[in-house]
A and B are shown apart, each in its own frame.
Chain A
Amino acid sequence: DTGVSQDPRHKITKRGQNVTFRCDPISEHNRLYWYRQTLGQGPEFLTYFQNEAQLEKSRLLSDRFSAERPKGSFSTLEIQRTEQGDSAMYLCASSPQGASGTGELFFGEGSRLTVL
C-alpha cells in the first residue's frame, strides 16, 4: 500500500484557465475528502465522498469547483476559470470509515496551485 497519492504536485496556471487535480486514495478506503490549505491557515474542508456519492459540499466550493469520484476509487477536483484567490494547496485524504469513527484521515502530500 503506497498511501494516498495526488497528481500533479505542483501546477502553475494563468488566470482564467481550467485545472484538474487527481487523488488516488488508499485502496480499501471508502471515504475520500478534499481540503484546501492557504498560507497561515489550517486545512479547510471542501467536500467528501462515500464511495461514488458526494455527501457534502462546503460553501467554499463555488460553482467553478467540481469534484467527482466516478467509480468510488480515484477522485478529481476541477477548477474552472481559475482566479488568483484559488492559489492554495489542495489536499486529499481518505478514511476507511467516517471521521466520527476513528477520526484518522490519511492525507496525501497535496497539489499546490499557483494562479498567475
Chain B
Amino acid sequence: AQSVTQLDSQVPVFEEAPVELRCNYSSSVSVYLFWYVQYPNQGLQLLLKYLSGSTLVKGINGFEAEFNKSQTSFHLRKPSVHISDTAEYFCAVSQDDKIIFGKGTRLHILP
C-alpha cells in the first residue's frame, strides 16, 4: 500500500521568508504525488501534482515541489511566504483510484 509521511506537524516561518514542507513517500513503483492545501474554513484544493516528466513541479500561489526518486521525497517550497499562505498543507499519493493523504503540516506565518 502507498503512504506518505509528513515530517512536521507545524512549521512557523516569518513573513517573506522561504519555507519548505517535507514529505516522503513509500512506494516501489511509479507514483503520482500531490500537495493539497486547506485554508481556514475552506475545502481542500489541489496545489500541484507530479504525474511524470520534469521533477520540478510548479503550482498555484508561487509554490513548487521537487520529486526526488532516490530520496523518495516530494518536498514543497516557496521562496517568500505571505500571511495569506496560512493554511494546512497535505501531501498525498495516488493508490488505485484513490488519493491517500498524509497527516498534514500546519503553516504558521509570523509577522
Contacts and interface: CB of A to CB of B under 8 A. Distances in A.
Interface of A: 4, 31, 33, 35, 40-45, 48, 55-56, 91, 93, 98-100, 102-110
B43 A42 contact: no
Nearest to B99: A99
B104 A100 contact: no
Interface string B88-99: 001010101111
B26 interface: no
Interface of B: 9, 32, 34, 41-46, 49, 51, 90, 92, 94, 96-104
A103 B101 contact: no
9 contacts: A31-B97, A41-B104, A42-B90, A42-B92, A42-B102, A43-B90, A91-B44, A105-B46, A108-B43
A103 B99 contact: yes
Contact of B46 (A4, A43, A45, A104): A104
Please report whether the interface of chain A is mostly helix, strand, loop or mixed according to DSSP: loop
Question: Which interface residue of A31, A33, A102, A105 has the most chain B CB atoms within 10 A?
Answer: A105
Contact of B49 (A41, A44, A45, A104): A104
* Chain A to chain B: the 3 pairs with minimum beta-carbon distance, closest first: A42-B101, A107-B43, A98-B97
A14 to B, nearest CB: 26
B43 A110 contact: yes
Contacts of B102: 42
Contacts of B104: 40-42
Contact of A99 (B9, B44, B90, B98): B98
B98 A33 contact: yes
A108 B38 CA distance: 11
A97 to B, nearest CB: 9
Given A93-B44, A105-B44, 5 more contacts: A42-B90, A45-B98, A100-B96, A102-B51, A103-B46
